[in-house]
Structure 1
Amino acid sequence: MTRYNYAVVVSGTSESSQRTHPTAPVNHSPVQTSPMINLQRNLTLQRSSNSEDIENPLFLNSNENPNTILVSPPLTGNANYGTWSISMRVSLEVKNKWSVVDGSVTSPDRTQAQYAAWRRCNLMICSWIFKYSHPSIAQSIMYMNKAKEVWNDLKKRFSQCDPHRISSLQSEIYALKQGNLSVYDYYTKCRTLWEHMNELRPMLICRCDPRCSCNLLDKIRSEREIDQIIRFLQGLNEEYNSLKSGVLVLDPLPNMHKVFVMAEKFERKNFNANGGNKATKCTFCGMTGHTVEKYYKKHGYPPDWVPGYKSKGKQQAVHVDIWGPFLVQSFGGERYFLTIVDDHSRYIWLHLMRNTFETQVLIRQFLKFVHTQFGLPIKTISSDNGLEFNMVEFFAENGIVHQKSCVNTP
C-alpha cells in the first residue's frame, strides 16, 4: 500500500515530491499545524470572499429584500420627483446597484452563467422602485422588464424642464414670505426652492479645450448666491428691517449661511426682549396674532373667507332679542325677526319669523349651527324676560347659563 508523507499533505507541496518517493516509509512523527494558523487562514479567505461579493453589483445579501426601506416619502409625481430621484439614487449607490440602473452593467445573454444573478438583481431593483412609487405610477411601469427602462421612463415623464415649471417656481420663490414662520423654517423653505431651481437650471460647465482660466463659473456661482441672499432678506418680516439694511450695505456681502446665522441671532434677541413671547405683531395696526401680510383690512378679504363666530377662548356668549310686529309683512308672511349678537365680535345673525312661537326652534338650530361650523358650545345666552325665551329645561340639559333682564329693556 502506498503511504504518503503527512507533512506533504498538510503543507501542500508539489506532486513531484510525492511521485519521487511513492513508497518511502514514514520514520518520523507527523508535522502538526497550529490551530491558530488554520483559523487565521480561514478568516483571511473568508474576508477576501466577502470583499469580492460586496464589490460585485449583482451580489444580494440576506438583508436585501423587496421590503427593504430605502426612501421616504414615495414618488407621487412632478412635485417630488427631484428629491425622490436623488434619494433613490443615493440608496442604490450605497448598495452598489446603481450600475445596473444606469447601464454600466449590461444584461448578459441567457446562455451565460451570470444571467441568473443579473436577473435576480434587476428584479430586486424593480421591486424597490415599485414599492416606493404611488400605486397609480407603479401600475404604469409594472410590465417593464429592466430597471434601466423603468428609471428612464420615470425620468422622461416627471423630469421635464419646461419654461412653465421654471416660471411657476420663480413666482413661488419671489412670493415666499416669512409670515408666522421662524427664521429656521423660513430658511428651510427658501433652501428647498433654491435647490429645486438649481436642478432645473444647473450650473454651466466650461467645455473649452484646453480649460480656460477666466473663473467665469465662480463669478456666476457668486452672483447666484447673492440673489439668494437678497431674496431671503426681502422675505423677512418688517421687524428685521434693521438687519436687512445692515447686511445689504456690506461689501462684499457675507455668504448665505452667515446671513442665516445673523437672522437667527436677531430673532433670539427680539424673543428675549419681549420676555419670551413668540406672538407675532402686525406693523400696520400694532396688534398681535397676525402680520401685516395677512391683515385683511389692508389687503382685502380672501375669496373663501366666511365671517362667523369669533368668541373662541372667550366667554362664548350671545345676546338675543325679538323685534316686531311689522306693520307690513314680508313676501313670506314674516312680521317678526330674531336677532342674535356675538358678545365678542359683535357679529349679528338675523332670522325672520311669522310669529314669536318660532323663537325656541331657531335658538336650538342656532346652537347646533355654531357647534357644527365652529366647534364651540354656547355657554351664556342673554335675553329679556320674555316668555319666548323660557327654555329652562333645555338650558339646564346643555349647561347653558341664561341671563335675563326686564322686558322691553336692552
Structure 2
Amino acid sequence: MTQGSGIPIKSDQKTEFIPPSSPLYIHPSESPNLSLSQIIFDGDTYQLWADAVRNGLDAKNKLSFIEGTVKKPVIQEGEAETLEVVAWRQCNAMVKAWLRNAIHPKLHPSIAFSESVVEIWKELRDRYSSGNAPRVHPLKSDLNECKQKKNQSVVEYYTQLKALWDELSTYSKVPQCTCGAANAMLKEREEEKVHKFLMGLDGVLYGHIRSNLLMEDEVPALTRAYALVLREERHRAVTKIKEETVEAVMAAKTGADSTKEGENSGIIRCTHCNKLWHTEDKCWDKLGIQGRGRGRGRNNARGG
C-alpha cells in the first residue's frame, strides 16, 4: 500500500484513501528537505524557535504530531499494516526530517535515536525551555537602552522595539481571568509601550510631536502614535527635498550669473600661460620670445 495526495489505496475488499483534511495526509509537494523556520536552533532562544516551528507545522496541519494528539495506530500481532499505520509512519518520518532541518547539526546526536516526533519535542522542551529565564534580563536591558539612532528611520526604530517586545511577551504571559484584571494588565502594558516608543525618539526631530501626544487626556494607542510620528517623518523628508531643490536652482543661477559677468567684463586671459591682457597667439612664453625691457615687456605682455 502507498499513500499520496488523496490517491486511493486498494485493500482486499475496498478502496481507501487519506483525505486532505487529515493530519495523516502528505501533499505531493512536501519533502524531507523542507524548512519549517529560518531560525536554526543551536541551544539558545528556545521559545522564539519553538513558536516559529509550531507555526510552520500548524500551516502543514502537522502540529498534532508534536502535541501527541495523533497517536500511532495499534497493530495486533500477526495483522497486516492498515492504511492509517502506513500514513502515520510516513508523516512521523517527514516531521522528524523537518525538525532536524531546523536544528543545528551539533544537536542532532541528542535526538538521533528518538522514534517519534513527540519524544523529540518533549526532549528539547524539557532540556532548553527552563533555561530561558535568564534571557528576560538582557531583553529588558536591551529594551531600556533602545533609542532612535542618528539617521535611523522611524520604521527601523519601531521594528527594533517591536522585536524586543514580542520576544519578551513569550516569557511573560498575562494570566487569564474573568474579573477584568487581565485586561487592565494588558492596557497598562500597551501604555508602557507607547511611553517607551515616544521617549526613545530623536528629541530634536520629534520632540514637539512627542509633547503634543503626551499632553492628551488619555495615552494614545501605540498604532496612532506610530502613525503620527511616521507622517511627521515623511513630511520632513518632502520638505527637505524641496529645500535642496531650491538651493540647487539658486546655486546654478548664481554660477551662470558669475560666468556671464566674466564674459562681459572685457578681461582677456591667455589660455597657454594663464596671464592677463593677451591671447595665446601673442603669448611670449609660447613663442619663445624674451622681454627686452621693463616697459616694452609690459606692453607686449598685454598683447602690444
Q: Which residue of 2 aligns with 1:203?
A: 174
Alignment-mate amino acid for residue 264 of structure 1: L
1:316-331 aligned at under 5 Å gives the runs none
Tell me what 2:301 maps to: none
- CA shift, 1:110, in A, is 4.4
The whole-number CA distance in structure 2 between the counterparts of 1:87 and 1:276 is 45
Using the alignment, how far apart are the partners of 1:259 and 1:150 within structure 2? Answer: 44
Say which SS state the counterpart of residue 43 (structure 2) adopts: coil
**1:234 aligned onto 2:204:** no
Q: Is the 8 A contact 2:64 2:70 kept in 1?
A: yes
Cα distance, 1:160–1:242 mapped onto 2, change above 3 Å: farther
User: 2:18, 2:24 within 8 Å by CA — same for their partners in 1?
Assistant: no
- TM-score (ref. length: structure 1): 0.51
How far the C-alpha of 1:94 sits from its partner, in A, is 2.1
Name the counterpart of 1:243: 209
2:128 aligned with 1:158: yes
Give the 3 Å change call, closer, same or farther, for CA 128–257 of structure 1 in structure 2.
Answer: same
Quote the residue 2:139 is aligned against: 169
| Counterpart selection for 1:218 from 169, 183, 186 | 183
Give CA-to-partner distance per residue, 1:151-187, whole Å, 9 cap, x none: 1222233323655321211111001111032100111
Q: Quote the Cα distance in structure 2 between the aligned partners of 1:94 and 1:169.
A: 29
Structure 2 residues without counterparts, runs of 5 or longer: 1-6, 9-14, 245-304
Higher mean displacement: 109-118 or 119-128: 109-118
Task: State how 1:87-102 maps to structure 2 within 5 Å.
Answer: 87-102=52-67
Q: State the 1:140 CA deviation.
A: 2.5
Alignment coverage as a number of residue pairs: 225
Q: Which residue of 2 aligns with 1:373?
A: none
- Are 2:72 and 1:107 aligned? yes
Aligned residue number for residue 179 of structure 1: 149
> Superposed, which structure 2 residues align to 1:26-175 within 5 Å?
53-79=19-45, 81-111=46-76, 113=82, 114-160=84-130, 163-175=133-145
Q: Provide closer, same or farther for how the CA distance between residues 198 and 131 of structure 1 changes in structure 2, counting only shifts above 3 A.
A: same
Please state how far the C-alpha of 1:247 moved relative to its aligned partner: 1.1
Match of 2:163 in 1: 192
Q: What amino acid maps onto 1:152 in structure 2?
A: K
Supply the distance in 1 between the matched residues of 2:48 and 2:135 (Cα, whole angstroms).
16
For 1:123, give the aligned amino acid. A
SS at match of 1:271: helix
Map of 1:361 onto structure 2? none
Aligned-CA RMSD value: 2.6
Q: Tell me, what secondary structure is at the counterpart of 1:137?
A: helix
Do 1:271 and 1:277's aligned partners in 2 also have CA atoms closer than 8 Å? no
User: Greater strand share, 1 or 2?
Assistant: 1
- Specify the code of the residue in structure 2 equivalent to 1:138: H
Match of 1:272 in 2: 238
Q: Deviations for 1:181-224, whole angstroms, at most 9, x for unmatched residues?
A: 21001111111111111110011111xxxxx4x42222111100
Quick one: which amino acid aligns to residue 199 of structure 1?
Answer: T
1:130/1:142 contact within 8 Å kept: no
Superposition TM-score, scaled by structure 2 size = 0.67
Question: SS at 1:177's partner residue?
Answer: coil
Given that 2:147 and 2:201 are in contact with CA atoms closer than 8 Å, whether structure 1 keeps it comes out as yes
CA distance in 2, matches of 1:140, 1:198: 29
Structure holding more helix per residue: 2
